[in-house]
Amino acid sequence: MKLIIDGSTQTITSSTESRESLSKKIYFSGLSVFKIISRTQGSVVKSLINRAKTEQIPIANESRCYDVTKVTVQEDDKTTKDYTNVCIYQSERHIGEFFQLSKPGGFSKIETFKRNNPQHKDAIDRALKAAERIGMTDIQGFLCQEKGMPIRFIDPHWRTSS
Protein backbone atom coordinates (compact mmCIF):
# COMPACT_ATOMS: atom_id res chain seq x y z
CA MET A 1 0.00 0.00 0.00
CA LYS A 2 1.20 3.53 -0.74
CA LEU A 3 0.26 7.10 0.09
CA ILE A 4 1.29 9.55 -2.59
CA ILE A 5 1.24 13.01 -1.01
CA ASP A 6 1.67 15.79 -3.57
CA GLY A 7 3.91 13.47 -5.59
CA SER A 8 5.97 12.13 -2.67
CA THR A 9 5.44 8.42 -2.02
CA GLN A 10 5.18 6.87 1.44
CA THR A 11 5.22 3.08 1.62
CA ILE A 12 2.58 2.03 4.12
CA THR A 13 3.37 -0.94 6.34
CA SER A 14 -0.02 -1.14 8.02
CA SER A 15 -3.25 0.74 8.63
CA THR A 16 -6.10 0.80 11.10
CA GLU A 17 -9.65 2.11 11.02
CA SER A 18 -10.43 5.73 11.88
CA ARG A 19 -13.87 7.32 11.94
CA GLU A 20 -12.32 10.81 11.62
CA SER A 21 -10.14 10.22 8.56
CA LEU A 22 -11.60 10.95 5.12
CA SER A 23 -10.27 7.59 3.97
CA LYS A 24 -11.57 5.93 7.16
CA LYS A 25 -8.02 4.75 7.92
CA ILE A 26 -4.87 5.82 9.71
CA TYR A 27 -1.67 4.82 7.89
CA PHE A 28 1.67 3.73 9.36
CA SER A 29 5.00 4.17 7.58
CA GLY A 30 8.23 3.65 9.48
CA LEU A 31 8.10 5.91 12.51
CA SER A 32 5.29 8.09 11.14
CA VAL A 33 1.50 8.00 11.33
CA PHE A 34 -0.65 9.72 8.68
CA LYS A 35 -4.32 10.70 8.72
CA ILE A 36 -6.12 12.37 5.79
CA ILE A 37 -8.49 15.08 7.05
CA SER A 38 -10.43 17.99 5.59
CA ARG A 39 -8.84 21.44 5.45
CA THR A 40 -11.50 22.68 7.88
CA GLN A 41 -10.60 19.93 10.32
CA GLY A 42 -6.92 20.62 9.60
CA SER A 43 -7.17 24.26 10.67
CA VAL A 44 -8.62 23.13 13.99
CA VAL A 45 -5.91 20.49 14.43
CA LYS A 46 -3.16 23.02 13.66
CA SER A 47 -4.55 25.28 16.37
CA LEU A 48 -4.77 22.38 18.84
CA ILE A 49 -1.17 21.30 18.20
CA ASN A 50 0.04 24.87 18.76
CA ARG A 51 -2.03 25.16 21.93
CA ALA A 52 -0.70 21.87 23.29
CA LYS A 53 2.88 22.97 22.64
CA THR A 54 2.26 26.38 24.24
CA GLU A 55 0.67 24.75 27.30
CA GLN A 56 3.50 22.17 27.44
CA ILE A 57 1.08 19.27 27.05
CA PRO A 58 3.11 16.18 26.04
CA ILE A 59 1.79 15.35 22.58
CA ALA A 60 3.40 13.03 20.07
CA ASN A 61 6.72 14.43 18.89
CA GLU A 62 6.79 15.81 15.38
CA SER A 63 3.02 16.29 15.33
CA ARG A 64 2.13 18.51 12.43
CA CYS A 65 -0.72 19.19 10.10
CA TYR A 66 -0.18 20.51 6.60
CA ASP A 67 -2.25 21.36 3.54
CA VAL A 68 -1.80 19.24 0.43
CA THR A 69 -3.22 19.53 -3.06
CA LYS A 70 -3.62 15.79 -3.69
CA VAL A 71 -3.26 12.52 -1.81
CA THR A 72 -3.61 9.22 -3.59
CA VAL A 73 -4.15 6.03 -1.61
CA GLN A 74 -2.90 3.10 -3.66
CA GLU A 75 -4.03 -0.27 -2.31
CA ASP A 76 -1.93 -3.42 -2.69
CA ASP A 77 -4.21 -4.51 -5.56
CA LYS A 78 -3.26 -1.21 -7.35
CA THR A 79 -6.71 0.34 -6.98
CA THR A 80 -6.49 4.04 -6.11
CA LYS A 81 -8.56 6.71 -4.42
CA ASP A 82 -7.71 10.41 -4.69
CA TYR A 83 -8.36 13.13 -2.12
CA THR A 84 -7.85 16.73 -3.22
CA ASN A 85 -7.34 19.95 -1.25
CA VAL A 86 -7.03 18.18 2.09
CA CYS A 87 -4.73 18.17 5.11
CA ILE A 88 -2.39 15.50 6.37
CA TYR A 89 -2.08 15.08 10.13
CA GLN A 90 1.28 13.42 10.69
CA SER A 91 2.82 12.39 13.97
CA GLU A 92 5.40 10.11 15.45
CA ARG A 93 4.53 6.45 15.83
CA HIS A 94 4.72 5.41 19.46
CA ILE A 95 5.77 2.22 21.08
CA GLY A 96 4.25 1.59 24.45
CA GLU A 97 0.92 0.81 25.98
CA PHE A 98 -2.02 2.55 24.32
CA PHE A 99 -4.73 4.03 26.53
CA GLN A 100 -7.95 5.87 25.82
CA LEU A 101 -9.75 7.22 28.86
CA SER A 102 -13.18 7.05 27.19
CA LYS A 103 -12.80 3.28 26.70
CA PRO A 104 -13.09 0.59 29.37
CA GLY A 105 -9.79 0.00 31.13
CA GLY A 106 -8.24 3.35 30.16
CA PHE A 107 -7.83 4.61 33.72
CA SER A 108 -6.73 1.23 35.06
CA LYS A 109 -3.93 1.03 32.46
CA ILE A 110 -2.58 4.36 33.70
CA GLU A 111 -2.89 3.37 37.37
CA THR A 112 -1.15 0.04 36.72
CA PHE A 113 1.66 1.78 34.80
CA LYS A 114 2.15 4.30 37.64
CA ARG A 115 2.18 1.52 40.24
CA ASN A 116 4.78 -0.44 38.23
CA ASN A 117 6.82 2.69 37.41
CA PRO A 118 6.59 4.94 40.48
CA GLN A 119 9.37 7.18 39.15
CA HIS A 120 6.93 8.37 36.44
CA LYS A 121 3.88 8.94 38.67
CA ASP A 122 4.37 12.70 39.18
CA ALA A 123 5.03 13.42 35.48
CA ILE A 124 1.95 11.45 34.43
CA ASP A 125 -0.25 13.13 37.05
CA ARG A 126 0.98 16.59 35.97
CA ALA A 127 0.31 15.82 32.29
CA LEU A 128 -3.21 14.53 32.99
CA LYS A 129 -4.03 17.57 35.17
CA ALA A 130 -2.72 19.93 32.47
CA ALA A 131 -4.81 18.15 29.82
CA GLU A 132 -7.88 18.45 32.03
CA ARG A 133 -7.12 22.12 32.86
CA ILE A 134 -7.17 23.16 29.21
CA GLY A 135 -10.23 21.06 28.38
CA MET A 136 -8.83 18.14 26.40
CA THR A 137 -11.47 15.56 25.51
CA ASP A 138 -11.21 11.99 24.19
CA ILE A 139 -7.85 11.73 25.94
CA GLN A 140 -5.73 8.99 24.43
CA GLY A 141 -2.06 8.25 24.07
CA PHE A 142 0.79 5.98 25.03
CA LEU A 143 2.59 5.11 28.23
CA CYS A 144 6.26 4.40 27.71
CA GLN A 145 9.42 4.15 29.81
CA GLU A 146 11.85 4.63 26.93
CA LYS A 147 11.42 8.35 26.21
CA GLY A 148 11.97 11.44 28.31
CA MET A 149 8.24 11.80 28.96
CA PRO A 150 6.41 8.66 30.10
CA ILE A 151 3.06 9.77 28.67
CA ARG A 152 2.35 11.18 25.22
CA PHE A 153 -1.08 12.24 24.04
CA ILE A 154 -2.08 11.56 20.45
CA ASP A 155 -4.88 12.87 18.26
CA PRO A 156 -5.64 15.90 20.47
CA HIS A 157 -9.25 17.08 20.88
CA TRP A 158 -10.68 19.95 22.91
CA ARG A 159 -14.25 20.81 23.79
CA THR A 160 -14.35 23.25 20.88
CA SER A 161 -13.10 20.70 18.29
CA SER A 162 -15.08 18.04 16.49
Is the separation of the CB atoms in 72 and 99 below 8 Å?
Answer: no
Q: What's the predicted TM-score (pTM) here?
A: 0.80
Of 24, 28, 25, nearest in space to 12 by CA: 28
Supply the pLDDT for residue 40.
92
Three-state DSSP class for 22?
Answer: coil
pLDDT tens string 57-98: 888 666 888 999 999 999 999 999 999 999 999 988 877 889
Contacting residues for 155 by C-beta, under 8 A, at least 6 apart: 20, 35, 89, 138, 140
pLDDT tens string 133-158: 877 888 888 998 765 789 888 877 66
Same domain, 87 and 103: no
pLDDT tens string 11-33: 999 999 988 899 999 999 998 99
Rounded Cα distance, 115 and 29, in Å = 33
Last residue of a domain, one of 92, 121, 143: 92
Same domain, 145 and 106: yes
- Domain count for the chain, please give it: 2
Same domain, 34 and 109: no
Last residue of a domain, one of 92, 114, 136: 92
Is the separation of the CB atoms in 33 and 26 below 8 Å?
Answer: yes
Same domain, 135 and 150: yes
